[in-house]
Structure 1
């Protein structure tokens, strides 16, 4: 069983923007600085929303080609039980495994509504999403590689297994944070310590920014403050 965080710990992480969170994680040397986040191929469609935080429910789909024997693929609902089995809040992470991701869409207004009822706060996918106004109106996060008009021949081929989105391998139950800058994983082992580290870093940065905006700024003062704050 994976570690889960208390509500107050989740709230403290949710208050952090993605850049501050990434800076704080770096201080633990838990991973390389160019790892742990989804690359530029997946963007937030609603950058105005407050940060998203939740445990990953992983799904693999395909949908670029029609079935060979019937008019449509069978609808699966068994993965909803898997989503509900995870701790809340939840983020559905959908890997489109087609050679051309984005020719189908699993999540639109109806499925988004189902996922919200399952205590999901957003979706992250290398593929497509749709029904953008409906998701925006309820504050449901969309992080996607593209937008589609059609659900295509979308069908689920697996769930609960590792997926790869924008270069990041995501395991079922991973803690994910996302805002207008992008999506990153939060190591659960250090997660409770991150907000305090972030607060100290922000205080140091604000002191430097204040000096840079001051009419009394000099390079000598900047170097002195850097030396002081690095201790």
Structure 2
């Protein structure tokens, strides 16, 4: 992923990325996105874009493993988060699910992760210290709570599931206040063009609807242009995916 595509992805929302992936695929039905409502610590921030650094945690029950094992695994977790390609996002599954109580994502832990060069966190777990989280490090979480509980790391670098979305370590993730998607690797070369073409076709309807005197006739004319452009997009997609001769 080049710098130009990265900058573009940071500017647009996750809903647009979902639509653009369908433009690349030439059909509806892309389903590698989160389900349900997420909470974002910085809803006005740029989107999170980066390679997933995954782990699983739990906090509801006191762990039964020896304290030294828990400490060693936590340090291995931080070593994993500090390594790997950048940009990167911490994608953390809280195994306590709907019962999650351990706010792993407070002022100290987010500051550590930001210092490691991560762009933010996606988790189904708990966040806290909302007034004290570092600027430029959004957390997209499942809930807000006051306590860290018995929070401890259970697994590092394994596939995780957050909000119904399964993410493998190293997957390219786009996330914001709407949720998150995993961008398929083979779609990356065509994604920039797909986004630009998608935004152009959307402007056909949006510009018409915002213009003075907009009525049904203006809508019908704009919609006809929109559908014609969509047909062109489908042709572009087929050409892009066709094997070279």
Tell me, which stretches of 5 or more residues in structure 1 are unaligned? none
Q: Which residue of 2 aligns with 1:56?
A: 52
Alignment counterpart, residue 17 of structure 1, candidates 8, 13, 32:
13
Whether 1:153 aligns to 2:150 is yes
TM-score, normalising length: structure 2: 0.83
Unaligned runs of 5+ in 2: 233-245
1:10 is displaced (CA, Å) by 1.5
Does structure 1 retain, via aligned residues, the 8 Å contact 2:12–2:47? Answer: yes
CA contact (8 A) 1:105 1:130 kept: yes
Report the counterpart of residue 240 of structure 2 in structure 1.
none
Residue aligned with 2:7, SS: helix
Which of 105, 116, 119 aligns to 1:118? It is 116
Q: 1:39 to 1:100 in 2, by over 3 A?
A: closer
Distance apart, 1:100 and its partner CA:
4.3
CA drift at 1:194: 1.1
Are the equivalent residues in 2 in contact too, given 1:102–1:148 (CA < 8 A)? Answer: no
Greater mean deviation of Cα atoms: 145-154 or 79-88? 79-88
Q: Does the 8 A contact of 1:42 with 1:125 survive in 2?
A: no
Query: Structure 1 residues 31 and 166 mapped into 2: Cα distance closer, same or farther (>3 Å)?
Result: farther
Per-residue deviation at 1:144? 0.6
Q: For 1:37-116, what aligned pairs fall within 5 Å after superposition?
A: 37-68=33-64, 74-75=70-71, 76-98=74-96, 100-116=98-114
SS of 1:92's equivalent in the other structure is strand
Aligned 8 A contact 1:64 1:100 in 2: no
Measure how far apart 1:193 and its partner are: 1.9
Aligned to 2:32: 36
Structure 1 pair 229–33 and aligned structure 2 pair: CA distance change class (3 A): same
Q: Is 1:189 matched with 2:186?
A: yes
Aligned length: 226
